[in-house]
Amino acid sequence: MSTIRRFLVLLFAIAAALPGGAAALRAQTPAFEVLLLDGRSAFADRIRTEKDGALTLRSKRGEERIESARVLCVLGGRSKESSLPRAYLAGGDLVRGMLTGGNEGGDRIELQSPTLGSLTLAVDRLECLVLRPDAASARDLVLPDGASEALFLPAALGFDRIAGALHQFGADGIRFQPEGQKEPRWYSARDLVGLRIDGAEPQEGAAIAELVTRSGDRVALSAYEFRGEDLALTLLGGDQKQIAQDDVACLLRLDQGAQFASRLDPVRAVEASFAGDALMPWQRDLSANGAILSAGGRCYARGLGVHSRSRLEYVVPKGAKSLLLRVAFDDSAGQLRVRGHVAVAVRMGDAAPLFASELKPSDAPKTIPLIAVQEGQVVAFEVEFGEGRDLGDRVDWLLCAFLP
């Protein structure tokens, strides 16, 4: 643990014990944590990208220069959940914002994001549009058998599915032709739960980074640059945007050769609640309850959200030499009336743990020292019941990055 990180842990303990301590702590915690490939961290209130690509970190302690090749991600604050509509795109992008229109040809959809502003997206990329996140998730909107497009309308219990053909997005909603009808008609966005389309295609090109914003957008980037108070970025499709640095929840680099467990398939997944079947099955890049990964007040773009008891096993991918990860209770667990408690462990197969610890919701995320790995080995991430059985045991395996 670095000297700076020890200081922050001590500061947290002191501040939390004082009257108004939590508010005082938030005021003194640096806006950003820059996580390095060796597992160490640096902190900053503002970041500037230099001409050679290095980052200059500015804080009350002064300035620190970090070479670009050492950086894995920049962690900001939490990403806020909201009731805004959500557009899920092929390739993993997610944009949250109001539906504002489309074009007459029906191949474009326009959204207004609180952070990214006005966005025009190709309908060919759209997998799912959830207009009522309070009523359903993207997982809930399943196409009827044999259908490639469908609308979902509220019903007394759940929702009704209408198979048919999408014609156009507009300010008034969605123009859609149900099966068996001769003409399409407009459906108001206020009257719909969502839309599902089969056969979406990801954006062409290789992303160098993934950005999660404070308002919950998740977008792939082909370029970015920290400038003064802002972050200038180019979306993978070519759109250029500029957002405030305070709107950066997590910026994860994808050009460092890391392979993330959340994008691999486990060779074995064993889950159970104290009473039997799993309460919340594990999720990729989301907490066990389906929210953006958040631990210690910071957002993480990638990781594994689990609930006790669980054991996920992964084969070390080709080219990997080390494993970098953190583990923590998800911040959402702190909002529950029950207080979770677990024992966590990382193993190679069934060997003795390489890392083991007890964990409570009040604990800061634990950075596990870099674990040396070899291609073909099986790495297991375990979460075991602690005190209180499995109540409130929402745990995040954060990043889980296999490094070259």
Nearest to 172 by CA among 155, 195, 197, 190: 190
Whether residues 168 and 270 fall in one domain: no
What is the number of structural domains in the chain?
2
Q: Which two tokens stand for residue 332?
A: 């959402």
Q: Which two tokens stand for residue 123?
A: 């309908």
Whether residues 280 and 396 fall in one domain: yes
Residue 327 contacts residue 366 (beta carbons within 8 Å)? yes
CATH value at residue 331? 2.60.120.1060
Q: Which residues span the domain enclosing 132? A: 86-197
The beta-carbon contacts of 43-48 under 8 Å, at least 24 apart in sequence, are 43/4, 43/8, 46/226, 46/228, 46/229, 46/245, 47/74, 47/226, 47/245, 48/226, 48/227, 48/228
Whether residues 272 and 152 fall in one domain: no
Whether residues 168 and 264 fall in one domain: no
Q: Which two tokens stand for residue 337?
A: 């009336």
Rg (CA), the chain: 22
Q: How far is CA 301 from CA 103, 137, 216, 308, 330, in A?
A: 32, 19, 10, 22, 13
Domain edge (last residue) among 144, 172, 197? 197
Query: Would you give the DSSP letter of residue 172?
Result: T
Identify whether 93 is part of a domain.
yes
The beta-carbon contacts of 118-122 under 8 Å, at least 24 apart in sequence, are 119/95, 119/239, 120/239, 121/87, 121/89, 121/95, 121/237, 122/237
Whether residues 163 and 296 fall in one domain: no
Whether residues 303 and 190 fall in one domain: no
Residue 346 contacts residue 400 (beta carbons within 8 Å)? no
Identify whether 103 is part of a domain.
yes
Whether residues 91 and 176 fall in one domain: yes
Domain edge (last residue) among 197, 218, 244? 197
The pTM for the full model equals: 0.89
Identify whether 290 is part of a domain.
yes
Whether residues 186 and 309 fall in one domain: no
Whether residues 181 and 278 fall in one domain: no
Q: How far is CA 313 from CA 60, 259, 376, in A?
A: 43, 15, 12
Identify whether 162 is part of a domain.
yes
Whether residues 166 and 273 fall in one domain: no
**pLDDT tens, residue order, the chain (404 aa):** 444 444 444 444 444 444 444 444 445 789 999 999 999 999 999 999 999 999 999 999 899 999 999 999 999 999 988 889 999 999 999 999 999 999 999 999 999 999 999 999 999 999 999 999 999 999 999 999 999 999 999 998 889 999 999 999 999 899 999 999 999 999 999 999 999 999 999 999 999 999 999 999 999 999 999 998 999 999 998 999 999 999 999 999 999 999 999 999 999 999 988 777 777 899 999 999 999 999 999 999 999 999 999 999 999 999 999 999 999 999 999 888 888 899 999 999 999 999 999 999 999 999 999 999 999 999 999 999 888 777 789 999 999 999 99
Identify whether 136 is part of a domain.
yes
Q: Which two tokens stand for residue 326?
A: 């953190």
Nearest to 121 by CA among 244, 250, 238: 238
Identify whether 245 is part of a domain.
no
Identify whether 295 is part of a domain.
yes
Domain edge (last residue) among 163, 197, 231? 197
Identify whether 108 is part of a domain.
yes
